[in-house]
Amino acid sequence: MASLALPIARLVDPIFLLLVAVAVGLALSGGDWAYRSRRGKVGRVLVWGAWLALWLLSMPWVSSSLVRWYSTRPSDLRADLAGTAPERRALILLSAGIDVDEFNVPAMERLSEPGLERCLGAARVYREHGFGHVIISGRDAVQGPTALAGAMADLLVELGVPRKKILLETESRDTRENALYSARMVRDLPVDTVVVVTSALHMPRSIRLFERAGLPVLPAPVRFQSPPPEGLERLIPSSFALRRSQRLVHEIVGLLEP
């Protein structure tokens, strides 16, 4: 039986406290004369609806379940890669963010959390299956064109991927361009099979854009969302869960781009 105990930190989470404050305020003002007009009633419906949506999207159980439902599940690539020569396979790693250099910290140590996760996953996939080429796609909007891809390349080398097999695609600024420019590079290589590594939540949109670019790919998703916590904790809103929901909305909206 799951424990009903809650960490104190969860009860003082800003998003939880704000939602409780809004609910109490709405409840206390519900008898005000302004709510009796038609406009007041519509406003009350909108406010309560927004409050309910915010509460639901902030619940770990809801956000985790939605992200797990939408994300591409990890699978074993052995069957898909059977019969293909390792030297005729390409692994495409989609980049993520990188922090600015304030204290002379090596670039690969300044990669964002998704970037680190994708590098770890790409190195694992490379070791398990072998590839003739590894393409790192993407650039940082602020720093130099090779800052982001170069940092990810350095980390891959530290993780055992040969430097001579790594190619940098440093023109793309978003996922659509990742697909377009990576596809262009692959067409100039002796490659029959392409595997893409990115976050599980980012994978559905990535696959769609690669297909639109005319390049069929096999998914190798990383960082699949874990199940929600047990007990009451999964029902208490948190800023982490809301951030997770925000990323999901971002990916869904991205599918609507022309």
Element containing residue 169 per DSSP (H, E): strand 166-169
Same domain as 250, residue 216: no
Same domain as 138, residue 92: yes
Same domain as 251, residue 158: no
Question: CA dihedral defined by 95, 96, 102, 104, rounded to 10 degrees?
Answer: -40
Residue 171 lies in a domain: yes
Which range is least confidently modeled, 18-32, 66-80, 174-188, 238-252? Answer: 18-32
Taking residues 232-252, report their average pLDDT: 92
Q: Does 32 have pLDDT greater than 50?
A: yes
Q: Does 33 have pLDDT greater than 50?
A: no
Same domain as 201, residue 133: yes
Same domain as 81, residue 62: no
Give how many domains the chain has, as a whole number: 2
pTM of the model: 0.89
- Dist CA 170 CA 178 (whole Å): 9
Domain holding 98, by residue range, is 75-221
Taking residues 6-12, report their average pLDDT: 68
Same domain as 97, residue 215: yes
Q: Give the pLDDT score at 36.
A: 63
pLDDT tens-digit series, residues 107-154? 999 999 999 999 999 999 999 999 999 999 999 989 999 999 999 999
Higher pLDDT, 73 or 11: 73
